[in-house]
Every structure is written in structure tokens, then in C-alpha cells.
Structure 1
Amino acid sequence: MTVSSGALANLSTVMRWGAWSLLLLGVLMSAAAHLRLSSQPPRTAPTPAQAAPASAEAVGPGGFAVLYVAAYVEAGRGTEASLARFFPNMRNISLEAKPGAQHADQLAAVQVKDVSDGYWSVTVAARITASPSARDDESDKEQAKEKEEDETGVLRYFQVPLRSTDGDGFAATTLPAEVGAPEAGDGIELDYGTPVPGDDKDETVTTIARFFSAYLAGAGELDRYLAPRTALDPVSPAPYTQVEVAQLAELNGDYRRNLPASDGARRQLLVDLWAAAPDRQLRPLTYALTLTARDGRWEIAALNAAPVLTKEK
């Protein structure tokens, strides 16, 4: 087939206009996309969440006093500012001791007394050890005498008066006062009967022993000893290799061996254990338990938070 020169010219014109049209369309689409993206707010990387520092209100008077005593024991000449955040009047006091000469460990608020509304007296126990540099000026004889004491530390007690502040925080009203150990309280009476030794022939003792073997020593499945709707996970990693029931007592009466497990029956026991650690050292442990009966057997319904105290008469 023969194509005339006029037809070729017309085809060339159509192709040239088509190319220009495609080019113009591409420019318009690019501009539209740019305008659309520009109208959207810029994307920024999310700021990592930062943990808020614990407030004095969350710490409480006892916790605040512990922090204060820890800073007080280690403070010295030139570090008075470290105490000003606990005791505002510290700005007017100078210390003479060498900073860091002593260190406090194992601090705990052992007594909190209400003096008045918003005012407390807190007694803090702290194990105080001397730093090696603090003994540089002592004689060899004195160093030898105090070396063992310095290495293990001495348990000392500090009384701290605290008041609440306008910002729901706390402030000390004076420097700590060193005091003697608080008096030990009277013996606590529990509302359980006379303890009896654990007996392997007692089915209840056998259940309790197997339960604690699973709970503390990782021996067997724990769920098989739990009552329905009782959720409890074993201690992990298992701290002991063997558990034995030493003795047990029953709430509101004497413990009865091989008590029939009538459906719906309930028992509350105080159980003393011997638990053997991997190094074969035995540790005594005491648990308050609630047992319930189902299908002719006793099951663990709860590890109680605390044993039952004798009611005051």
C-alpha cells in the first residue's frame, strides 16, 4: 500500500501535538501533587515518652526520710547543698566532716508517728559503714579493732521530723537526731490452735507438701493442686530444690488429721515449712493458706496475705 506525502505530514503533526499534550499533562499532575502534599501538616518523629520523677507525695513520709538520712550520712564539708532539698534551713549550716567518709546501706523507715496534722516523726534504720579513706589517720591498732565492724557495718537509728508542704511534698524541720533502737513490741498472738507436726500419712499434709514443691521448687504442675478460679504462678526461677511440711495449725481450733473433704468445706491453716536451697541450706518459711474441698479432696484456694490475729477481748 502506498501512503501519500500529505498523509505522512498529517500523521507527523498529530504525533507532535500528542507529545506536547503528554508533557503538559505530566507538568500539571506534578504541580497538583506538590500542592496536595504542601497542604498537609509536616510529619515529625514522635517524641520519646519520658518517665516522670516520683513525687514526694508518692514516696510518703517514710520514703522521704530514708532519702534524707542516706544523703545526710554521706554529706560533709562543701556538700551541704545536697541536704538543702530535704532540709531548707541547711543553707545556713556548715558541715565539718569529710564528705563520703561514711556510707549508709539497708535503710528502712521502721517507725512513723503522727505528731500533729501534717507533721510526722520518722525513725530510720541504716547500716553505716566507714569508707577506707576515713581510717587513714587512725593508728594500726585502732584500724584492726574497727576493721571487722566497718566491713559489716553498724545498725544505727535516726529520728527525722517532717512536715507537709504546700506542694503536697515534705520538708525536714531539723537535722536528723541519732537515737536508740525502737523497743520491740509484745509477742503477737495468732488465732490458730496448737501446731502439730507434719505427717506424710495425712492426705492434707501430702497435698500441701506437693503444692509447695511445685510452687517453690518447680516439681510438677501447680494447677492440679489449685481450686477452680484460683490463679497462681510458681516462683521462678525456683529458689529451692526440696520442701517439707514441718508443722501446721488450724484457725479457731486444733488441727485434725485426715479430715474428710466434704464438698464446699473450707479450712484455714498456718503452715511452717523447711525449704532446702541448692546449697543444701535449710530456710524456715511460714504461709497462711485457705483450702476448699471438691470431689473428695482438699485444694489450695488462696495464699493469704497474712495470718489471722487473735481478736482483742
Structure 2
Amino acid sequence: MRRRNTASVPSFVATPQAVTPQPPAAAESLDDWPAPDGLRGSSRQQAMTGRGLYALLWTLLIGAVGLGLFGVARPGGSRGPAPSAIPASAAPAQQPPGGCAELLVAAWLTGDAPVLATLLGAEQPRLPQRQRTATRTYTVSVQPGPQPATWSYVVGADVAATAKNGGSTAVGIQFFAVTLTRRPATTTADGTCAGWSAPALPAQVAGLAPAERQELAYDRTLSTSGQPLADTLSRFFTALLAGGPEIERYLAPGVSLAAVTPAPYTQVRLERLAAAGGEQLRGGQVPADGTQARLLATVAATVGEQPGEWRLTYPLSMAVRGGRWEITAIDAAPVLPSADTSTRTGSSRPSDRPGTSSGPAPAPAASGSTR
């Protein structure tokens, strides 16, 4: 039997061939890329700039973290910056506790050695004891001294002389100059007056000089009787000072003024009345509603059967409502002349001063019942 010729079968298996190893391709960089026309040569500069900015940002970040850690680790680092020192001229002057100068004068008058020992920073002399006493002391003036931490006082004292039998005789008011100092190194509140002391004994000085007369702006004198305004004020002061009835009936709505209790006087009369300006007050009749007035009233008061009268002065604001005068306020201070009037030369008669009325002062806030 004849054998068939076998057809050649194509082989799909690749014949192994020797592979020649190739060197690894170099990594491409930005410089290997072809640059468009007009930008060739600038890619390297841009890359260097980017790397520089990147390094700068990391440097700043690391520096900030390092400074923060240093500030926390440093003692007191969490505290804020210390405030700048205040100049001595701008720093408020510290004043000794109230009453230290008065206490020194009272102790000196009575010769109280234990109290003087806590207040006197000088040699303590031997003083007479219990021959004089201060029934009352009060500070007349106080001002900073010429040196730092120094204060000068003038203290008034009602002095009484003590007799051997135990009685006392009033001597009158006497005045004493006192200086109190405190050393800058004294920081603790030691001693009777928190470290303040007198470097010398009190010095007795002359009494106060008479006060100069001050002009006021009440330039129009008004009648004190027989007119509605005067009658309203007379009844008001009787209710205020002498136990009169119903003080509220003389007050404007929303105004609350309490009568003095117990009543210190038994009788009160209106002695003098003046107005600042007051052109609308001529004739004595009640002007139109809404009219306002600034008044200065002087009253004379008596106590029981005692002889003599006690005079008091009240600056008032009043207004007309419903055809009658009402008190809107007892002013805190009298009306003073304006600056141009007070500096004007020439006659100083009250009739030559123009009024300075600008309407009544605001009524005090109601603190009780209102009408």
C-alpha cells in the first residue's frame, strides 16, 4: 500500500532566538520634550523656579513650627507681651486711704501715743495726754505734694479743752497742715494707713480765708407773696420742710420728691425769690401753659420757740401746666453767668447781666408714686 505524502503543517510556535539585552531607556525629563517655537530654552528656568518656590515654602513651614515649639518651651512663653511702661506723668497718683490725716490730727491733739506710733514716721515726742480732744475732724483740702508719693492735707478740727474735773469747753475750729508720704519700695499694705505715714508732726495753720462772692445769673427779683408763683412755692416748702400735707400736689407729673422726715422745722416762709431771665413772669399772673422758669428761692425756717431763723437756698425749675405752676426739679446747682458775661468788664449790677435761662433742668427720675 502506497504511503500518502504528508503535507507540511505550518508551525505557529516561534523558534527561540537569542535575545540581545538592551540597556534601559533613560527617564524622560522636561528638557527632553520638544518646546514650541518661542519657548525653547525657558523650560529649564521654569523648572528651577518651581523647585525654588517649593523649597522656600517648606523652609517657612518648618521655621514657623520651630518658633512655636520654642515659644511654648520657654518659661512664660505663653504669656502675651509685657505692656509698655507708663510714664510717671501719665500714671494715676495713688492717694492715701481716707481719714489718715484726720486720724493723725486727732491722735496728736489727745496725745494718743499708740496711734501716733502707727502714723508718725518721725521721732515721737512726749505730748500732753487728754488735755484736748477733737470732737469732729474733716478734710478741708488735699493735693499732691511736690515729690512723688507725697500728699498735703489741711485738716479742720472742732477742739475741746478738757478740765481737771472731767468737763470740757469748746475752743473752736482749728486747722492743721499734714503731709503723708510712702516710700516707693513699700508695696505691702502694712500699718494703720497701708504703709503711708507722716514724716513730720502736724503744723497748726491759720483759718480759711473768706470766700469771694460769686455772682449768679438770677437777674430778676420776684414778689414773695400775693402771686400764684409765690403762693405755690410757700406751700411747697412748708410741705417739704415743716411737715405740710401732700407735697405731690405741687409736683409735675413724673416727678417724685420726698418730704424731709421727721420735719426739721416748725415754720417756713419764702424770704427771697429771683429768676434767671424771666421776661414772661412780669405782671405776676400765670403765663401760658408750657412756660418754663429757672428760679432761686431763699426760705427762712424756725425751730419751735427757738429764736432766730435758719436760711436755706434752693435752685428750682418750674413749668406751667393747666393754668398753674408746678415744680419740675430741684436743680443740682444754681445758674451761673455765661462765660462772656462773667468776663465782661464794667458794671456788675444784677440788672446788667442778661439771663442765661435755657429751660428747666430735666426732672429727676421717678422713684416713688407719681401723680
Judge same fold: TM > 0.5, yes or no: yes
Residue in structure 1 matched with residue 152 of structure 2 by the alignment? 121
Whether the 8 Å CA contact 1:66–1:109 is kept in 2: the answer is yes
User: Does 2:300 align with 1:274?
Assistant: yes
User: Does 2:178 align with 1:160?
Assistant: yes
Q: Which has the larger radius of gyration?
A: 2
Look up the equivalent residue of 1:297 and give its one-letter code: R
Whether the 8 Å CA contact 1:156–1:181 is kept in 2: the answer is yes
Q: 2:266 aligns with which of 217, 220, 241?
A: 241
1:214 deviates by: 0.8
Higher strand share: 1
Matches within 5 A, 1:55-204: 60=98, 63-75=99-111, 79-87=112-120, 89-90=121-122, 92-95=123-126, 97-116=127-146, 118-133=149-164, 151-163=169-181, 166=187, 167=189, 169=194, 170-199=196-225, 201-204=226-229
CA distance in 2, matches of 1:304, 1:218: 22
> Match of 2:215, SS?
coil
Q: 1:227 aligns with which of 238, 252, 255?
A: 252
The CA RMSD over aligned residues, in Å, is 2.8
Whether the 8 Å CA contact 1:192–1:252 is kept in 2: the answer is yes
1:8-40, CA deviations, whole angstroms, 9 ceiling, x for partnerless residues?
xxxxxxxxxxxxxxxxxxxxxxxxxxxxxxxxx
Q: TM-score, normalised by structure 1?
A: 0.67
CA distance in 2, matches of 1:224, 1:275: 22
Whether the 8 Å CA contact 2:319–2:328 is kept in 1: the answer is yes
Farther off after superposition, 251-260 or 286-295: 251-260
Change in Cα spacing, 1:118 to 1:204, as seen in structure 2 (3 Å) is farther
Change in Cα spacing, 1:263 to 1:163, as seen in structure 2 (3 Å) is farther
Q: 2:233 aligns with which of 200, 208, 215?
A: 208
Residue in structure 2 matched with residue 264 of structure 1 by the alignment? 290
> Match of 2:254, SS?
coil
Residue in structure 2 matched with residue 15 of structure 1 by the alignment? none
1:94 deviates by: 3.0
Residue in structure 1 matched with residue 314 of structure 2 by the alignment? 287
> Match of 1:110, SS?
strand
Change in Cα spacing, 1:152 to 1:194, as seen in structure 2 (3 Å) is farther
Identical positions, percent: 33
CA distance in 1, matches of 2:253, 2:150: 47
Whether the 8 Å CA contact 1:261–1:298 is kept in 2: the answer is no
CA distance in 1, matches of 2:172, 2:257: 39
5+ residue gaps, structure 2, are 1-93, 344-371
> Match of 2:143, SS?
strand
Whether the 8 Å CA contact 1:202–1:257 is kept in 2: the answer is no
Farther off after superposition, 169-178 or 121-130: 169-178
CA distance in 2, matches of 1:264, 1:123: 49
> Match of 1:238, SS?
coil
1:59 deviates by: 5.3
